[in-house]
Copies of this chain bind each other. A is one copy, B any other.
Amino acid sequence: MHEKIHRVVIIGGGFGGLWTTRGLATAPVRITLIDRANHHLFQPLLYQVATAGLSSPDIAAPLRHILRDQRNVEVRLGKVVAIDVTRKSITSKDGTELAYDTLVIATGATHAYFGNDAWAPHAPGLKTLADALHIRQRILSAFESAELAASLVDREEWMHFAIVGGGPTGVELAGMLAEIARHTLRDEFRNIDPRRATVRLIEAGPRVLGGFPESLSAKADAHLRSLGVEVCCGAPVTAIDATGYALAGASVKCRTILWAAGVAASPLGALLPVARDRAGRVLVEPDLTIKNHRDVFVIGDLASLQQDGKPVPGVAPAAKQMGAYVAKLIRARVERPEKFPIANSNVAVSKPFHYADYGNLATIGRMSAVVDLRGFRFSGVFAWLFWLAAHVFFLIGFRNRVAVLLNWATSYWTYQRSARIMLDSENETR
């Protein structure tokens, strides 16, 4: 009997993968969860690590630790390089093959440069902890370089910061950067005045926070300007290199460009024999399986699904809901195979996945946010407190949430950011 237990392989330990795993806690299955990193990352707060407000362990917890009591899971550190849906197996980079009865792919998204991959080294994006630490190092180094600059021209280049992309991440980064320049670094330099740094947020579309209602975009825009951010909408960046960027025909000297503009699906989607959308996301069936392979699920940011004429957005709540849905379906199939057959049929017998959209929120610097709860819209300090409560609530399961709150509380009182540590001037990217 033991050797016939249903094997579930889950690739990716983000919100989608972890919620699938937890949803199967009491199911009669054997789960292998594979991730390239040893931790689950609370991505909504990643910008806080990038801007030195929080340190890595505040928002990351080892997957093994989260799942230590769930005895039907084995966590593996590894990178998947091949998927064979016919033989029903996956292969890791170290050559290990692993057979599955059900496969769940939840490897999310990475940042994309719209075909301009040469921009990547000059405009780092923010998806992993390593990205966040790299951006932190870049920001802190820029002020150090400005302080030591040999000429005024050099100094100006180091004191100009550009953030490309006016979505929630871009808005959060711009707000924090303005706060660091205006308040955090106050009095610390002798040759420069950090308050004179310019922070420019560049959005190709007509307004920041394009996914929000216009009234909230306008609020965010006004608040960013009050923080001293230059908001430039309506024109795309057309070139980026080590010396700066080009915008609306003019080239601007700039040494610190951060990329918050585009996301592309994880390359793992390309290993599947199914169609993908323009961003590389896998087109999934209403039950989140892929066409002709009802034993393969794709969830989270990697999945492309239309609902009520709109795409399901690539946000944490959607990934969690998908994970919970898939766990329930797998369990039903294993426990009641007569009712939920896995056999390859194109007719999905199960109830389709439905994304419940509870709203959208984004924060803008210190004590300000915009919230859109199904049409109920508000902004300002109250929105920020709502944002904080929601995030701290969802940090549950991380043992550091008290420490996170404490760090935050002191940050907000003192304008200080406790994680302003560069490892060594010799090791810039560590």
Bound complex: CA of A420 vs CA of B400, how far in Å? 12
Q: Report B-chain residues with C-beta under 8 Å of the C-beta of A96.
A: 148
Q: Report B-chain residues with C-beta under 8 Å of the C-beta of A74.
A: 190-191
The complex is assembled from copies of this chain, and their number is: 2
Bound complex: CA of A356 vs CA of B418, how far in Å? 33
- Closest-CB distance, A339 to chain B (whole angstroms): 32
Interface assignment of A189: CB less than 8 Å from any CB of chain B: yes
Q: Report B-chain residues with C-beta under 8 Å of the C-beta of A65.
A: 188, 416, 420
Q: Report B-chain residues with C-beta under 8 Å of the C-beta of A57.
A: 55, 418-421
Interface assignment of A357: CB less than 8 Å from any CB of chain B: no
- Name the residue on B nearest A148 (C-beta): B76
Q: Which parts of A127-172 form the interface with B (CB within 8 Å)?
A: 128-130, 133, 140, 144, 147-148
The 8 A CB mask of A388-430 against B (1 = contact, 0 = none) is 0000000000011011001100100010101111111111011
Q: Report B-chain residues with C-beta under 8 Å of the C-beta of A418.
A: 57, 399-400, 403
CB atoms of A399 and B410 under 8 A apart: yes
Q: Report B-chain residues with C-beta under 8 Å of the C-beta of A427.
A: 130
Bound complex: CA of A429 vs CA of B130, how far in Å? 11
- Name the residue on B nearest A95 (C-beta): B150
Comparing A33-41, A209-217, A299-307, A360-368, the segment that makes contact with chain B is A33-41
- Name the residue on B nearest A96 (C-beta): B148
Interface assignment of A187: CB less than 8 Å from any CB of chain B: yes
Bound complex: CA of A423 vs CA of B426, how far in Å? 20
The 8 A CB mask of A197-229 against B (1 = contact, 0 = none) is 000000000000000000000000000000000
CB atoms of B38 and A419 under 8 A apart: no
Q: Report B-chain residues with C-beta under 8 Å of the C-beta of A424.
A: 36-37, 128-130
Interface assignment of A77: CB less than 8 Å from any CB of chain B: yes
Residue ranges of A at the interface with B (Cβ–Cβ < 8 Å)? 36-39, 55-58, 60, 62, 64-65, 67-69, 73-79, 94, 96, 128-130, 133, 140, 144, 147-148, 185-191, 399-400, 402-403, 406-407, 410, 414, 416, 418-427, 429-430
